[in-house]
Amino acid sequence: MIARYSHPEMSKIWSAENRFSYMLEVEKSVALVQGDKGIIPKKAAQAIQKKSQFNIDQINDLEKTLKHDVIAFVQNVAHYIGPMGRYFHFGLTSSDVLDTALSLQINQASLILFEQINILKVEFKKIIKAHKQTICAGRTHGMWAEPITFGLKMGGFLAELERNEARLKKALVENKICKLSGAVGTYSVLDLDIEAAVAKKLGLVPETIATQVIPRDRLAQMISAIAFLVTGYERLAIELRHLQRSEVGEILESFLPGQKGSSAMPHKQNPITAENITGLARLCRSYVIAAFENIALWHERDISHSSVERVILPDAFILADYSTRRLIQLLSGLYVNKDQMKLNIDKSGGLLMSSHFLLLLVEKGLTREKAYEMVQAVSFESKTKKASLYDLALSNSEIMKLVTPKELNDVFSGKRHLRNVNKIINRVL
């Protein structure tokens, strides 16, 4: 992923240095257990612990000839160990090391992502608490619907975030896997107890039944969980983009001193953060297809998945992390224009209250069809004449035969619509 959409903390996890460091951690853990069990000499295990190191430039030079990064890595580390280096990587196949190290990388990356999600949840709760009673227009199909509060609107996005966080946590459990079962998963060299002991040291769980690799449905589940997360961000970003439109103007992203919105139009304050989040979510979702394609490998394994994962796994985590941080920035600086929200409701002329106006007439004995017909007629008249629906209802003799002015006022105050808002919001606070 390009630096523009990366945060150094997450990028570092997916660096070549970190990848080889985790591979070395796996190799050293295996050697330690093998030494304890007498599979390799104890002095070999000790030498591996003390002398193991690697040089990326040397590994890259070796790979030019070997055309195999793991063999290059093993040769380079063994060189630093010395004579006992012959016991380094003893009984292992490349994927034993690669896949187990990848599990450690995923775990580390997930922990950083969860840290940022927790910060994001705090920002959500600040907005929700501050705007529990900030009334704004609810919209369906882009049109006025019923009143809602901005706090309740944001509460729905927080609830989605928590579901997506739970999906990520479940996917992480499914990817904390150790695999040391050899070339085709038969433990032909190392016994199961070696794998179990190494897994315990690394905080992982042995794979149930592996081929030469950990089955890729696990990684597909992780990429899918990440896609859910960033798609939730996109749903919010689209909402915030709509609310920033000039004709709506109910919120505004922060605009820093010296910032410019357009090279041609000095008045512009564009929703660039929300648009950025939308675009990155599109990219991240595309990795789901590639992750699913990686599940079906030939026989006990081919290498077609490798090149794909070297791209999509770092990119997916880096984009998810970057998007989370960008959304935190957006919410922490979000300006909520309460006056504009009230003005937009007033512009509706009371049309947002038509649903409960309908129910009031039904309660007074009209059939639903007749009540709907009457409310629709005065609603369309309100839009045509740009007059208040409330005023038109008050002046309609047929309607006022059925209801009192107080009952009508109660409907148009919006109290009936919002009486349960606090109870709903409390579900996420």
Specify the residue for token string 């619907």.
145
**118, burial (CB in 10 Å: exposed 0-12, middle 13-18, buried 19+):** exposed
Q: Which pLDDT score, from 0 to 100, does residue 417 have?
A: 83
Distance CA 90, CA 51 (A): 16
Q: Which pLDDT score, from 0 to 100, does residue 265 have?
A: 80
- Specify the amino acid at residue 191: D
Q: Which pLDDT score, from 0 to 100, does residue 391 have?
A: 94
DSSP 8-class letter at 149: E
Distance CA 35, CA 44 (A): 7
Q: Confirm whether 323 is a catalytic residue.
A: no
Residue 138 in tokens? 């609810």
Q: Which pLDDT score, from 0 to 100, does residue 271 have?
A: 87
- Specify the amino acid at residue 140: T
Q: Which residues of the chain have pLDDT under 50?
A: none
Q: What is the DSSP string of 317-334?
A: HHHHHHHHHHHHHHHHTP
Q: Report the predicted TM-score, pTM, of the whole model to 2 decimal places.
A: 0.94
| Domains located in the chain, CATH noted | 92-252+267-341 (1.20.200.10), 348-425 (1.10.40.30)
- Specify the amino acid at residue 298: W
- Active-site annotation holder among 15, 262, 286, 304: 262
Q: Confirm whether 141 is a catalytic residue.
A: yes
For 259, other C-beta atoms within 10 Å of its C-beta total 10
Q: Which pLDDT score, from 0 to 100, does residue 180 have?
A: 98
Q: Which pLDDT score, from 0 to 100, does residue 270 have?
A: 85
- Active-site annotation holder among 141, 246, 263, 397: 141
Phi, psi of 37, rounded to the nearest 5 degrees: -95, 5
